[in-house]
């Protein structure tokens, strides 16, 4: 029966890959499909199995789960060259990605999208978003402008050429006349696509049909979000967001699943907060504590290697994520990183222009002015990475988890105490 969603409850890099992998390990042979429903290779999900580290960007993390079929849903924007590099890299390490299915309606990222992503960022100057430069925004813009190229188009020569030409028409005026770059010819894009077309063809399916049939048959389908709630184009810190809907509601348009089918919606949340790229971040630390979180938590981007901005846990954001996703539970990661502090501040509300806000403020301007209201919780000053049950955790770590759970608006399903699959505690 179950359709399970695993998604980011903060600004990304919460440990979604680990949570997905853990669900797969817990239900060995029981997660039948693992589906990406939005985003593209802007994601970077790290999974550590038996001390060996894997990173996925475009493939869902379930590619590492034995018996699980990975699916790239229609809501994804796909750079197929990156996809095959990723598959080759994993297969060279003994991971079988041969079951991969790709939606016929997923949109392609081509080299004109990455070129435009980089050049528009440069032109934004101090208003830069700090994108990953993977062509995500321009590919979604084409989709909405109805000049995108979809996977199915690759196999219809006439339509493909017409669509690529249409997509390049305005872009070349922009590239040459505004951005002072060289024009991109339809031929070079068609050659780029021809290089992978044959390899792609056998993977292409009507993924909505496949997944709905699987659910009808009682199979388990896990939808793995990339990015996160606060990077959602509608519900995140716009304009400092990605160009898709990582929230649970995004599963509908991104995978062709009706909203009544979702059974569990798990928000992954770090025991503190990080963010990559520009945009407001009320609990951000610019001091030694921030540096210590970055070093101990190894907070450097999986995709771009950029140092992540670090700060304390923000329960206002957790409550917001619980609300806009309809979370049934949270998975709390990286509790082990907090082992060095005497006292740990947790943001319980904001003060904005002299007024207390217990919920996310309505406007971007207010959010930019938000000052965290902190509650200080006692630290546990010890290494908890060997703990495998809640009872083994030091009393102060237990109290920290329980207080976060009270503040965050949904029960905690599990806790991460290290990057490894086994470094986890199940609460229910």
Which structure tokens are listed for 406? 């009270």
- By the rule CB under 6 A, 337 interacts with ligand GDP: yes
With binding defined as CB under 6 A, does residue 130 bind ligand IMO? yes
268 labelled binding-site residue: no
Q: Does 104 bind ligand GDP (CB under 6 A)?
A: no
Smallest gap from residue 375 Cβ to ligand IMO (A):
27
Alpha helices in 50-94 (DSSP H): 80-92
Residue 16 binding ligand GDP, by CB under 6 A: yes
Among 60, 416, 421, 425, binds ligand GDP (CB under 6 A): 416
Q: Binding to ligand GDP by residue 17, rule CB under 6 A?
A: yes
**Applying CB under 6 A, does 139 fall inside the site for ligand IMO?**
no
In the numeric block, which tokens belong to residue 282?
């009320």
What is the per-residue binding string for ligand IMO in 50-79, x denoting contact by CB under 6 A? Answer: ------------------------------
**DSSP category for residue 410:** S
C-alpha to C-alpha distances, 196 to 50, 108, 144, 155, nearest whole angstrom: 33, 12, 25, 11
- Give the shortest CB-92-to-ligand GDP separation in angstroms: 20
Q: Does 309 bind ligand GDP (CB under 6 A)?
A: no
Residue with structure tokens 């329980």? 402
Catalytic option among 57, 113, 143, 235: 143
A 10 A CB-CB count for 60 gives 32
* 17 is known to lie in a ligand binding site: yes
Which residue is listed with tokens 């923000």? 314
Taking CB under 6 A as the binding criterion, the range among 42-50, 67-75, 389-397, 417-425 that sits at the site for ligand IMO is 42-50
Q: In sequence order, what DSSP letters do the residues of 212-242 get, joined into one string?
A: HHHHHTT-EEEEE--S-GGG-TTTSSTTSS-
**Per-residue mark of binding to ligand IMO, 258-287 (x: CB under 6 A):** ------------------xx----------
The CA distances from residue 265 to 6, 8, 225, 261, in Å, are 6, 11, 11, 11
Q: What is the DSSP string of 369-400?
A: T-EEEEEEEE---S--TT--SGGGS-HHHHHH
Tokens of 252: 């509908």
User: 16 or 357, CB closer to ligand IMO?
Assistant: 16
The DSSP H or E segment spanning 414 is strand 412-416
Residue with Cβ nearer ligand IMO (6 or 377): 6
Residues 38-67 binding ligand GDP (CB under 6 A) are: 44-46, 48
Q: Under the rule (CB under 5 A), what is the footprint of Mg ion? A: 13, 44, 302
136 binds ligand IMO (CB under 6 A): yes
Question: Does 275 help bind ligand GDP (rule: CB under 6 A)?
Answer: no
What 3-state class would DSSP assign to 48?
A: strand
What is the size of the binding site for ligand GDP (CB under 6 A)?
21
Please state, in angstroms and as integers, the Cα–Cα distance from residue 414 to each residue in 112, 266, 333, following that order. 42, 10, 8
Whichever of 125 and 305 has its CB closer to ligand GDP, that residue is 305
Could you confirm whether 216 is annotated as catalytic? no
43 binds ligand IMO (CB under 6 A): yes
The distance of closest approach from Cβ of residue 75 to ligand IMO in the complex, given in angstroms and rounded to an integer, is: 14
Q: What is the bridge-based pairing of β-strands 329-333 and 309-311?
A: unpaired
- Of 198-237, binders to ligand IMO (CB under 6 A) are 226-228, 231
Note if 13 is an active site residue.
yes
Classify strands 329-333 and 264-270 as parallel, antiparallel or unpaired.
parallel
Nearest CA to 280 out of 7, 9, 8, 11 is that of 11
322: helix, strand or coil: helix
**224 with 266: CB under 8 angstroms?**
no
Q: Give the Cα separation of 197 and 102 in Å (integer).
A: 12
The annotated binding site is made up of 12-18, 42-46, 132, 146, 227, 242, 302-308, 334-336, 416-418
Positions that interact with ligand IMO (CB under 6 A): 8, 12-13, 42-45, 129-132, 134, 136-137, 226-228, 231, 242-243, 276-277, 302
Positions that interact with ligand GDP (CB under 6 A): 8, 12-18, 44-46, 48, 302, 333-334, 336-337, 416-419
The annotated binding site for GTP is made up of 12-18, 44-46, 308, 334-336, 416-418
Annotated catalytic residues are: 13, 45, 143
């Amino acid at each position: 029966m179950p359709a399970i969603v695993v998604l980011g409850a903060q600004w990304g890099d919460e440990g979604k890959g680990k949570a997905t992998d853990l669900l797969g390990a817990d239900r060995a042979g029981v997660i039948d499909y693992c589906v990406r429903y939005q985003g593209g290779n802007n994601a970077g999900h790290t999974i550590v199995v038996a001390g060996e580290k894997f990173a996925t960007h475009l493939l869902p993390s379930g590619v590492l789960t034995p018996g699980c079929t990975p699916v790239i849903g229609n809501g994804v924007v796909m750079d197929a060259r990156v996809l095959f590099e990723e598959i080759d890299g994993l297969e060279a390490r003994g991971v079988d990605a041969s079951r991969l299915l790709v939606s016929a309606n997923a949109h392609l990222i081509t080299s004109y999208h990455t070129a435009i992503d980089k050049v528009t960022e440069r032109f934004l100057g101090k208003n830069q978003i700090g994108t990953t430069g993977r062509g995500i925004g321009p590919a979604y813009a084409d989709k909405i402008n109805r000049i995108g190229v979809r996977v199915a188009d690759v196999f219809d020569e006439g339509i493909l050429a017409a669509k690529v030409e249409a997509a390049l028409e305005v872009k070349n005026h922009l590239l040459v006349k505004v951005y002072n770059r060289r024009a991109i010819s339809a031929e070079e894009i068609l050659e780029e696509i021809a290089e992978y077309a044959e390899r792609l063809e056998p993977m292409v399916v009507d993924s909505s049909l496949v997944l709905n049939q699987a659910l009808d048959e009682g199979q388990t389908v896990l939808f793995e979000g990339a990015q996160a709630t606060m990077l959602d184009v509608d519900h995140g810190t716009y304009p400092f967001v990605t160009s898709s809907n990582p929230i649970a509601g995004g599963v509908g348009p991104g995978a062709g699943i009706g909203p009544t089918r979702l059974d569990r919606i798990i928000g992954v949340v770090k025991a503190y907060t990080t963010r990559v790229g520009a945009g407001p971040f009320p609990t951000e630390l610019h001091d030694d504590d921030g540096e210590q979180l970055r070093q101990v938590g190894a907070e450097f981007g999986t995709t771009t290697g950029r140092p992540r901005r670090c700060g304390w846990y923000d329960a206002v954001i957790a409550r917001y994520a619980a609300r806009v996703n309809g979370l049934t539970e949270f998975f709390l990661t990286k509790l082990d990183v907090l082992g060095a502090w005497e006292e740990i501040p947790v943001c319980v509300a904001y003060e904005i222009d002299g007024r207390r806000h217990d919920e996310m403020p309505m406007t971007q301007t207010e959010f930019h002015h938000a000052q965290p209201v902190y509650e200080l919780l006692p630290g546990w000053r010890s290494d908890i990475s060997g703990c495998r049950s809640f009872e083994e955790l030091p009393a102060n770590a237990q109290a920290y988890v329980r207080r976060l759970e009270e503040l965050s608006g949904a029960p905690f399903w599990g806790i991460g105490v290290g990057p490894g699959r086994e470094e986890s505690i199940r609460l229910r």
